[in-house]
Structure 1
């Protein structure tokens, strides 16, 4: 029976290359990269564990170029010492043609980079050459193989567990193994740089740019400050060529992940390829390397998923603060946008309970009505009958795992807001628009829209109390940190549970909700409008689910009541978190809420900012903007 291939995240400290003798080497995994991009791999139990990379002249133009040169040995990175030569267990390996016909040399490995030479060099010819290492994995020092997890490269991860046979893993990253070459090969490796898009996001729009994480690997001994990047996707008629300048130069043999926009291919499909290449570096033509190939689901329904976290709670529930404490911790650690809403039902009603809270109790199904409980996009796990999760361990990691799992589920709708906030009249209204995915529309599946005005960060008072904050096993800072969050102040939705959406043939919708008065007791700075599109089926709970969600703060709304003379003075927040004027102004300055001036040329940290301006006609004013 085949062994399972387990993965363990590892924090690695990469050895400085300046401390090693310079050798001519070749491989697609970097020698220097961020620790979090490394993954330790193996079976997790006692047994032989071997890994090799494949140098194939039929696939890789670099190997084809090296024909006639020799592979002298192996460079490999380890997390621990594996000094097993006395038992003939730790070895370097090579094979030609197929990975099964290996030649070995017994040696010892130490933590970090190792350079081991074969007894006889191997000539690079027309057949693939496999080079790598073997050790005996121990439970005390498990997962000996190390991969760079951000790039899946052809031939980059061949593994043999317990000598049960070699298998190529195409989604495990690239082994931290390199081939040591003869010195005469150096001129054929002088000007090379590899680029590829990380596997995520999986869903992108055709011919549109998406925010990608791109792996750049400088495969030379020189620094690289700029490149020409070529992008060619499935269905494209010509490549897109762009100049890229790095914030700091890529060091020799460095691998780096860079967030940047990349254009998807023109052809829609579930597994469409996208190729990156670097024809120039530092203004000089490069020597060819393999294209960096990734696959993506290309569709016009490329919506960005924003998870909806719904918690059933009550002021009278003594266990609820514990779930809230660790769930809050998980939501703070999660680095993406999300929507959090509480439903005060399932145990006892309280002053925050609204009719919709009790309407949603059908989602418990056969489960006993109780709280605390939480739902993630109303997704029902395999083998379960309800989307409800009860309180978990007294730690935040299980909640974070569920949030991250929700974030990667494909979204099937978009939700956008146009808020009407009148500061003088103290009213708020909104228009919600977007598009429902073609698969939902064409199948005739009803989609429903729910929209709430939410207040966060409500402090404890005599009326707004919470039971369960003083328990013997409560976290020491529970009472200090506790706030009422995700509180529904108003349900804009006209039908209990959600308004049935009417869409055009393309799935577009738009719903206008009337203005409502803002209660003076509500903190405007903590108010936001949230909305989500969902499926509703009370007869089959598995057929419920949130297609997507979104939110918008009132402090980021279109403010109606500014002095009419100032109505034409506008500002916006750019994607790189800078505030720019959208109309003619003589000058403007930006301040944080503490009154400290910030540089308007800098990318701002998320938060609320005050923009003080002088209009073109000489009048002065101020606006408040939210940077997300």
Structure 2
């Protein structure tokens, strides 16, 4: 099972003699399937970084040669430029040029003058660059572990950390002379920061890598949860150099909603005081446990067209993926990305923004929660010609957190076709983005019309019919904080027919708006007008016209906040006490079970605060950290 690491892995493996050690992070696994490139520029490159702590451990040792593996020999003049440096942008300590005779084979660089590690360096980089055609993949990794701050690649003029790209480590090996055996581990980064609910089992799997040169036989795991510390001893082990080891934590108390701070430290490796560098032995994470009845839905937006020959099959692929995933998914179909048709609205064209920056648009396609899964696409949109593409994107989006809950109310006057919409959004935690937006879509099911390769009487469902807000991107909200509740209302009139913004045949592009087949879809997510990868949706919900839907997790002791009270009061926490700025007559604090508690020295957790100001009252969920 692959693990994602927090810092250096696979350091110090034997290289030929007992006094020479090959330092680097990569397994010695060379596979053509692991080649790749970053960006659109001809210049490509990779480098590995050694931290100050690791260099201190190697103080006095000399670097005399390095070996590099590249994915292609078709560079300019079949050459790569290699370097040893303290920065990726400054003047190198040493540099050279190597001829690449074969791809996927180690190329050796012997330094003209061996470099002695002083231990004073902030860091050291060893890497290569080359010019190569855009059809070739020069870069290569071992696809093992992502290691934060240790592997870099050149991307359109900038060196970037490849951490988070699921590439593992660059195939770069550095020889250090006269390095003695020693014990060292690097704690691995498990994905602790997930979506957890109170009352449900939470299994965390810390891991580490033996980055020393000796076999590990024992260690202690020190686990601290909100200040309560326990120690687990592991013995009779045989963890060889470069091997990883993981263990499960399943006995966490998840009965309470709210934030939990967790620290895991690997200590006493092979006994006390055997490890010289313990700077990278700890992992810290903050978990948030949502209410037991928390409900979250994923928003799947498809891109389709009546004239697209593969879209009928794409619809089936999406349906199969949704069924297999067992996730709660709300669908919306945008008729864009291919030829406009009788359903295409202006906003549908706006959402082409989410396609990758190069290669144009295509259909069938889909995006889930507007979340980018880098393993499949450089943007939120993936091709829906494969069920697995869509399914993998669903699973990846499901690992994100919902942050908010919805209460969506709609009232419909069928005779006048007047629709009143009211949405309340309750924030459980601070939003991850400074800018958030919420929006409300109109969608319609059961429209009978043609579809290429599916006949003239194909049923089009989840069809996007416009927005309630009148804006493709919705309403902006800045700095969403835990406990805040937003209320927004609007009244619109549903026309008897909805006119396509783009289809030119006036006899066909007026689609009857059947009220009983229509719904409102509300969502909230992050927003960045310049970057289509920063629009991840937090949560969403759906209600048929004239009906309402309150999500599980929208736990408020009173039905509706009075806007006047909310606007004149500032409610916040200071030193474990709820404080209010503004004129008010009564303040009450309740736990999530509904019992009133004393407003002093409040323990960490989530509370309901009720404030009465004159004839108005406001109720707010607030987090005590």
TM band (smaller chain): 0.3 to 0.5
With structure 1 as the length reference, what TM-score do the two structures score? 0.45
With structure 2 as the length reference, what TM-score do the two structures score? 0.45
